[in-house]
């Protein structure tokens, strides 16, 4: 329940000396300018008609009744407008929606991932789903202020492509501030967002609690269409969304329906924090005219034995297809010889991609450590930088095909969670023929 989370927030605030202040409503100043007191003689007014006075009185009562009905039918309107005026004052670039959507204090939590932490790609799928719902409902999204970091993807050696003992050292943090990854002002141009540790959020909480049932609803197992079309929910100040207990992105079950997708895959990558984007621009200038590829190995090429002791993999061709000799064969029709090829990869073996240098001038993020070392605090930031560099290349090649127009190193599907198959490490005759054409 959101209340327990809010109580924990309030207790934490109290322990740190902070208090959640109730919303203060705007007051309008009145003129205090003294007026000259000139006494003039006026003719004595005639007595007014009783019928006229009665008409004026009835009209005033009608106006008051209409105003009362408006406030009762939309109980949060005064508070929401007050909050909106605060937002406009603090950030005049963005006009936030008057209503708010809350999914939880951590991505994929509440749910089965509260005690674990998925990788950046998984969490971005969930975050994108929540942002899409906020867009659909025309609400400001209350974003978790921190993102957890999966320790599997947070070893320092990835930046320097080293596999010595010291490279096993982990970055210190197990989470990072959301605004160290994303430019929230830039994001708010498309989907208004506030952080769940902001003063604005505490004001929204305070106001919703005062309004009670007219201010907040805790909902689950409802579609975004239900939330938009049912006036019971559409007029509320705050919706506390209990998302799928599996993962947030499960709420976007119809993502295969292209018309249902409101935010493209490229949205969150393009929302990288300004310091990350600035680093990307510096590196791109140094690279000049270049091509790039992302090579996903590491955790994706792991195998396990079945009950007969036979090795099996979820992506049976991935290990083969991401080896240098097979990469040379695959990309030769896309990248001409002599080109600068930037490689972003989680492969840890030094010199693993060196055989590609017979045809290309190779570049890695480690070549620009003098730019990255002072600013990189975790591998999520590094991955976001590398991803933007790959996206900005003349020819961009992914590991897995995500769109029909994508160039990819393997034909194995990216999402394969059930079928464990025997890995393939060789070419068949047809593949060999295509390679040497």
CA dist 58 → 47, 50, 72 (Å):
20, 12, 21
* pTM of the complete model: 0.75
Residue 100 near residue 203, CB atoms below 8 Å: no
d(CA 369, CA 390): 17
Q: What is the pLDDT of residue 322?
A: 97
Cβ count near 3 (within 10 Å): 12
Q: What is the pLDDT of residue 49?
A: 59
Q: Which residue has the tokens 């989370």?
A: 5
Residue 145 near residue 197, CB atoms below 8 Å: yes
Q: In degrees rounded to 5, what are phi and psi of residue 77? A: -60, -45
Question: What are the 10-residue block averages of pLDDT along the chain, 437 residues in total?
Answer: 46 41 34 40 52 63 51 39 40 62 90 80 93 95 94 66 51 84 97 96 93 87 88 91 81 64 90 98 98 93 91 94 96 97 93 97 96 93 97 97 92 83 86 71
**H-type alpha helices, 264-391:** 267-270, 274-287, 318-321, 324-331, 369-372, 379-391
Q: What is the pLDDT of residue 99?
A: 94
3-state secondary structure of 106: strand
3-state secondary structure of 370: helix
Bridge partner list, 291: 341
Q: What is the pLDDT of residue 194?
A: 97
Residue 399 near residue 299, CB atoms below 8 Å: no
Which 8-state DSSP code applies to residue 355?
Answer: G
Residue 286 near residue 394, CB atoms below 8 Å: no
CA dist 85 → 12, 30, 82, 149 (Å):
28, 19, 5, 35
Which 8-state DSSP code applies to residue 170?
Answer: B
Q: In degrees rounded to 5, what are phi and psi of residue 199? A: -60, -35
Q: What is the pLDDT of residue 162?
A: 53
d(CA 388, CA 366): 15
Question: Angle of helix 120-137 relative to helix 379-391, nearest 10 degrees?
Answer: 70
CA dist 83 → 23, 89, 238 (Å):
8, 10, 12
CA pseudo-torsion sign 249, 251, 253, 257: negative
Residues in contact with 118: Cβ distance below 8 Å, sequence separation at least 6, in sequence order: 108, 150, 247
Residue 188 near residue 131, CB atoms below 8 Å: no
Residue 163 near residue 349, CB atoms below 8 Å: yes
Element (H, E) at 240: strand 238-242
Which 8-state DSSP code applies to residue 265?
Answer: T
User: In order of start, what are the domains of the chain with their CATH numbers?
Assistant: 75-269 (no CATH), 272-435 (3.40.50)
Q: Is cis: bond before 110, omega within 30 of 0?
A: yes
CA dist 161 → 264, 280, 363 (Å):
31, 19, 12
Cβ count near 182 (within 10 Å): 24
């Amino acid at each position: 329940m959101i209340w327990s989370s809010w109580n924990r927030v309030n207790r934490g605030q109290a322990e740190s000396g902070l208090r959640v202040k109730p919303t203060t409503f705007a007051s309008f100043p009145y003129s205090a300018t003294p007026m000259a007191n000139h006494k003039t003689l006026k003719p004595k007014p005639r007595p007014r008609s009783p019928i006229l006075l009665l008409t004026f009185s009835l009209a005033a009562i009608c106006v008051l009744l209409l105003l009362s009905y408006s406030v009762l039918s939309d109980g949060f309107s005064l508070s929401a407008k007050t909050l909106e005026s605060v937002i406009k004052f603090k950030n005049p670039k963005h006009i936030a929606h008057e209503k708010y959507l809350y999914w939880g204090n951590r991505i994929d939590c509440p749910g089965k991932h509260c005690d674990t932490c998925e990788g950046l790609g998984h969490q971005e799928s969930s975050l994108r789903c929540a942002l899409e719902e906020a867009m659909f409902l025309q609400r400001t999204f209350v974003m978790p202020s921190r993102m957890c970091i999966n320790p599997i993807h947070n070893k320092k050696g990835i930046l320097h492509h080293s596999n010595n003992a010291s490279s096993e050292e982990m970055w210190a943090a197990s989470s990072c501030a959301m605004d160290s990854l994303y430019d929230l002002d830039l994001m708010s141009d498309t989907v208004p967002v506030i952080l769940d540790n902001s003063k604005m959020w505490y004001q929204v909480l305070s106001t919703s609690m005062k309004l009670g049932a007219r201010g907040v609803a805790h909902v689950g197992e409802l579609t975004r269409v239900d939330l938009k079309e049912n006036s019971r929910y559409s007029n509320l100040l705050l919706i506390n969304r209990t998302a799928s207990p599996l993962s947030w992105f499960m709420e976007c079950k119809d993502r295969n329906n292209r018309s249902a997708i409101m935010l493209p895959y490229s949205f969150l990558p393009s929302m990288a924090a300004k310091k990350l984007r600035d680093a990307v621009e510096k590196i791109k200038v140094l690279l000049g005219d270049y091509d790039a590829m992302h090579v996903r190995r590491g955790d994706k090429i792991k195998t396990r034995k079945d009950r007969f002791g036979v090795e099996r993999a979820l992506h049976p061709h991935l290990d083969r297809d991401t080896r240098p000799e097979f990469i040379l064969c695959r990309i030769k029709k896309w990248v001409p010889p002599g080109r600068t090829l930037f490689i972003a990869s989680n492969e840890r073996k030094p010199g693993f991609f060196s055989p590609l240098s017979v045809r290309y001038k190779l570049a890695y993020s480690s070549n620009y450590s003098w730019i990255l070392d002072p600013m990189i605090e975790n591998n999520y930031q590094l991955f976001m930088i590398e991803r933007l560099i790959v996206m900005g290349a003349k020819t961009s090649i992914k590991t897995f095909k995500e769109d029909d127009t994508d160039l990819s190193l393997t034909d194995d599907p990216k999402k394969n969670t059930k079928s464990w198959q025997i890995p393939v490490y060789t070419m068949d005759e047809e593949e060999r023929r295509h390679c040497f054409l």
